[in-house]
Each structure stands twice: as structure tokens, then as C-alpha cells.
Amino acid sequence: MTFPNPEYHSHEEFQNRSRKLADIRLLGIEPYPSKQPCGQKAAELALEIHGKQIGHSDDAGAGLTPTACIAGRLVLFRAMGKNAFAQIQDETGRIQVMFNRDLTKVAGFTPTEELTHLKFIEKKIDLGDILCVEGHLFHTQKGELTIFAKKVTLLCKSLLPLPDKHCGIADKGIRYRKRWLDLITDQTSLERFRLRSRILLAIRKYFEQAGFEEVETPVLENNYGGAAARPFTTYLHAHHQDMFLRISLEIPLKKLIVGGMQKIFEIGKVFRNEGIDKTHNPEFTMLEAYASGWDYHDTMVFAENMFETIALELFGDTKIRFCSGDGTTAQVIDLKAPWKRMSMKEAVLTYVNLDVDKMSDQEMKDYLRKNTHIEEKKLLSAKRGHLIAMLFGELAEPHLIQPHHIIDHPIETTPLCKLHRDPNLRKEGIVERFESFILGREMCNSYTELNDPELQRHLLIEQADKREKGDVEASPLDEEFIEAICQGMPPTGGIGFGIDRLVMLFTQAESIRDVLFFPIMRPEEI
């Protein structure tokens, strides 16, 4: 059960716990001490004792069994005469605790005839309170590992109850908005976020071993670019100017390549003022990397090897079993390199059965009108390359379940990419770009980076013209970036990963909200 903010203070449970808090203070006990004296973890204790004979309840208080000191949240309590049993939960799991009328003491408490140590625990401590328990380990008659509590220290008195221990949090909106409750009540959610941290460590290790340096670039920018997206705007009072939250990491990282850095990467938040769905959140984590001397073939191998390496480090296998939301079906995804490669046109031919080279622009528009929900305005203004990309994105992309690299994209979709080195593909306006897909989702995007200043300026002017004509996702002209390219950028391969989607894959999450600690949510109605 949770209370709507800010009226929780008027509810009976809050008032009851507040009275207990006042009583505890009157008894001379500090309910919010500054330091936690315990350092052991529930899972560590279980692993340490596994397979050992440590005695039973009849000798637990004799001091002959291993000692334990653990801190955690009280999540279960039941009184049984002169004893009481409870469960303490920390971030690694739960462990049972036994309080005894004669042998358990509460730190800082002086008992009276009416209020013994055990009665204090029963009357003044609530589920959700954080305790430190010191005592001896033993096995109950049923074989459950238990701490015989000799000393109990109150570390934090909670004033609101936890959700029902049996039902948990059924409402996903509450889980996402009040993530702290989700982490307390759902061990699966907690493990998913801990796995996220391990994935980020594995990524950084992989890049470090490949000779990359991690850098940081500004979140606030005078200009924005590197992607087709509507930005978030803000105002810098010190300079009396509008500024933008970055939509990409690309432009400043390329400036560092111009400056002579050879292999660099950044992991950071980017912000796009766009829709929210299962794979999109306006604030998300991006990884972008650039390597001087590489092309998109190099980054292709680097990307697939990264996924394979992470899978092996996390699970010891390249195969991931991905279950549907209802648990009725499962798909085995094999991340072992090399992955399947096909051009965007080949993907449309393979999965949509359309040969776009034999279709006119009008035929493609008519097909899209009939088979997709793309806005008529977008169809009318779309060039040939955009139409091919629309056919791919709407109709072929959902078929890319196993890992695919989709290579060689139309230039209209990619103003920062180098034209193809093959003369025939170059004439068609094909660029050296690939996107990687798994489970029908884009996982990464990579270019052989454009370093021709004249062509770069021409393409960016086209983008600026689109913006002037009302395309809110087109970028403004960035003269400073063009200046940097004019001063010479070596041949470079660049790649970007959506970290949240990558985590979704490795944690088998159905929605991006499941892998973000605090996804964007509408404000609660009060």
C-alpha cells in the first residue's frame, strides 16, 4: 500500500508510526544514527555457511556458532511466545532472524516492567524499518539459516508502509515512478539494474582493451546536430542566449579526432524531444566511438565482437533465450560473430519482396500509402532515398530477429556519412553506413565518416534549408563544425550504440522503462 503525495501525512498508518517515532526518541534512542555498524551481506552469509554443520536452535545462544552482523530492511515479522521470527532484506537477498525474550537486546534501550527488549521490537518496530542485527548463525529444525539476534540497532524508522508483500506492485506506473518501491519489492528488477552496471563495466573494459580513451563532451550546446531530432531548449542567463540539450555526441567527438586523438568514446545522456514508446525515452544513454584510420567495415567487426564478448562475460554463452511478455514463446538469439550482412535494398527485396530498383518513386509512394500509416505530408516531400528507407523501416525491419547488419544506405538519410567507394553505388547516392538490428530493433548505427569539407557543407546546408521550411527534426547549419573539418579530419570510422536498448537485450526487458531507473512519466494527479 502506498499513499498519494502530499496527503500521506493524514493517513492513519503515517500517524501511528509518527507516534512510535516520538516514543522512541523519548526513550533516549536515536532513530536515525549516522553510521551503520554492520558490513556482511545475506547472500555472502548463505554462501559462507553452505554445506557446513553449524548447530541448531538449541545451542544458537551459546556462542559456539559463527557470528554474523547484517543490516537490512525488516520485511516479515511474527511473534511466537518467548521468541519472534523475522526476515531482514538487503540488496543481495533475505535472511531469517530469531529474537529471544531473554537474550536479545536493543541498543540504547533500558527495559521496564511493561516494555522488555522483545516487546519494544514488537510494539515500536514496523515492517520497512532498517535494522542492524548482530548474533550467531544456526540452522532451524527445518534447515533454514537463521541469525540468533543478540543485539539489535535501529538504523532508520520508516514512516510509511511498504507495498503488500504478497501482491507487490501490480501497477507498472507506480513501479516506474516510484522505483525505490520496485527495487525493495521485486528482486528481479533489482537484479536487472545490477546487471546493467555489469554491462557498462564490460563495455568500458572492451573499449579500453581495444585502445580507446574515454572522453566527456558538453551536454549544453550552442548548436545541435548529429541526428534528426527535435531538441530540448533552455536559456543561459549568464550569456543571455538560448542553448540546447545535445541530441547526439557526434559533433564534438569529431572535433577531437580533428585535434589528433586517435580512438575515443563517450557514454552519456542525450535528449530528443520526441515520442515515448517501448524503445524510446526522450532522455537516454548513448555510446559513440570514433577511430582514426577505420572505416565502416572495421566498426562492423568491432560491434559484433563487442556483443559476443559481453554475452560470453555475462552468461558464458553467445545464445540468449528471449521470452515473450506472457512467457508463452521464446526466441533464441545467437550473438556469435560474424553476423548476417545485407544492403538496405537487399533487405527490402528479401523481407518485403520488392525490388526498389524496378520501381518508380510514385510506385513506392503508392505502396507505402497502401501498406503503412506514414503521414501523407512526409510521403509528398520524400526523395527516392527516403522512400527506400521508409519501405525498409516500416516493412522489413520487424523481420530482423537474429543479428543483422544492414549496410549501404541512401545518402538522403545520412548527411554526415562518406559516399560509397564503389563507383556504381556512389553514382546511386549510396553511403558507407550500416545499422545493426536484433529482435527487430536498431542496436547501433555506424558510418565511414564524411571528411570532405565541400560535400559536408553542401549536405548540412540542405539540412538547414529543411529546417527553415518547417522540418523540426532537421539540424541548423554549424559553421564551427565545418571549420573543424576544413582543418583536416583523417579517414575515420564512427559508431553509436543505444545503451538502454542493449541492456534491454541482455536483461530480456520488454520495455525501455524497465531498464531506466527513472523513465519520463507524466506528473501524478493530486
- Determine contact, residues 440/421, Cβ cutoff 8 Å: no
Between the alpha carbon of residue 364 and those of residues 161, 244, 379, the distances in Å are 59, 36, 9
The stretch 90-96 carries a mean pLDDT of: 94
Same domain, 103 and 205: no
- Determine contact, residues 137/146, Cβ cutoff 8 Å: yes
381 domain-assigned:
no
Same domain, 254 and 156: no
Domain containing 225 equals: 185-339+402-514
Grid cell for residue 424: 556504381
What is the number of structural domains in the chain? 2
| pLDDT per residue as tens digits for the range 310-329 | 999 999 999 998 876 566 66
Distance CA(83)–CA(105), nearest Å, equals 13
Same domain, 135 and 78: yes
394 domain-assigned:
no
Give, as one character, the DSSP assignment of residue 469: T
Pick the closest to residue 225 from 489, 459, 486 (CA basis).
459
Same domain, 128 and 195: no
| Torsion angles phi and psi, residue 373, rounded to 5 | -115, 30
Q: Report which listed range, 373-382, 414-423, 429-438, is most confident.
A: 429-438
| pLDDT per residue as tens digits for the range 142-176 | 889 999 999 999 999 999 998 876 566 878 889 99
Distance CA(198)–CA(13), nearest Å, equals 39
Question: How many C-beta neighbours within 10 Å does residue 140 have?
Answer: 14
Same domain, 189 and 233: yes
Distance CA(162)–CA(156), nearest Å, equals 14
Per-residue confidence band for 60, with pLDDT thresholds at 50, 70 and 90: very low
Q: What percent of the chain has pLDDT over 90?
A: 79
| pLDDT per residue as tens digits for the range 74-88 | 999 999 989 999 999
| pLDDT per residue as tens digits for the range 96-111 | 999 999 999 999 999 9
**What stretch of H or E contains 494?**
strand 492-498
Q: How far is CA 52 from the centre of its chain?
A: 39
140 domain-assigned:
yes
Residue with cell 541482455: 506
Same domain, 131 and 234: no
Using only C-alpha atoms, the chain has a radius of gyration, in whole angstroms, of 30
Distance CA(189)–CA(198), nearest Å, equals 15
Same domain, 417 and 498: yes
Q: Cis peptide leading into 37, omega within 30 of 0?
A: no
Per-residue confidence (pLDDT) for residue 58, from 0 to 100? 53
353 domain-assigned:
no
- 39 vs 290, which has greater pLDDT? 290
For 191-256, where are the E strands, in sequence order?
A: 213-214, 220-221, 233-236, 241-245
Per-residue confidence (pLDDT) for residue 290, from 0 to 100? 98
CA dihedral 48, 53, 59, 62 (to 10 degrees): -50
Per-residue confidence band for 525, with pLDDT thresholds at 50, 70 and 90: low
Same domain, 149 and 220: no
Same domain, 37 and 122: yes
The stretch 10-19 carries a mean pLDDT of: 90
At residue 303, does pLDDT exceed 90? yes
At residue 10, does pLDDT exceed 80? no
248 domain-assigned:
yes
Angle at which helices 187-209 and 499-507 pack, to 10 degrees?
120
Give, as one character, the DSSP assignment of residue 280: B
Identify the three-state secondary structure at position 451. coil
Q: Whole-number mean pLDDT of the chain?
A: 92
| pLDDT per residue as tens digits for the range 172-227 | 889 999 999 999 999 999 999 999 999 999 999 999 999 999 999 999 999 998 88
At residue 113, does pLDDT exceed 90? no
356 domain-assigned:
no
Per-residue confidence band for 63, with pLDDT thresholds at 50, 70 and 90: very low
Q: What percent of the chain has pLDDT over 70?
A: 94
40 domain-assigned:
yes
Identify the three-state secondary structure at position 411. helix
Per-residue confidence (pLDDT) for residue 289, from 0 to 100? 98
Same domain, 29 and 135: yes
Residue 458: which CATH number? 3.30.930.10
Between the alpha carbon of residue 69 and those of residues 30, 76, 153, 363, 373, the distances in Å are 20, 18, 11, 73, 61
Three-state helix/strand/coil letters over 307-334: HHHHHHHHHCCCEEEEECCCCCCEEEEE
- Determine contact, residues 98/84, Cβ cutoff 8 Å: yes
Same domain, 95 and 205: no
| pLDDT per residue as tens digits for the range 452-478 | 999 889 988 988 888 888 888 888 889
134 domain-assigned:
yes
The stretch 361-374 carries a mean pLDDT of: 96
- Determine contact, residues 130/86, Cβ cutoff 8 Å: no
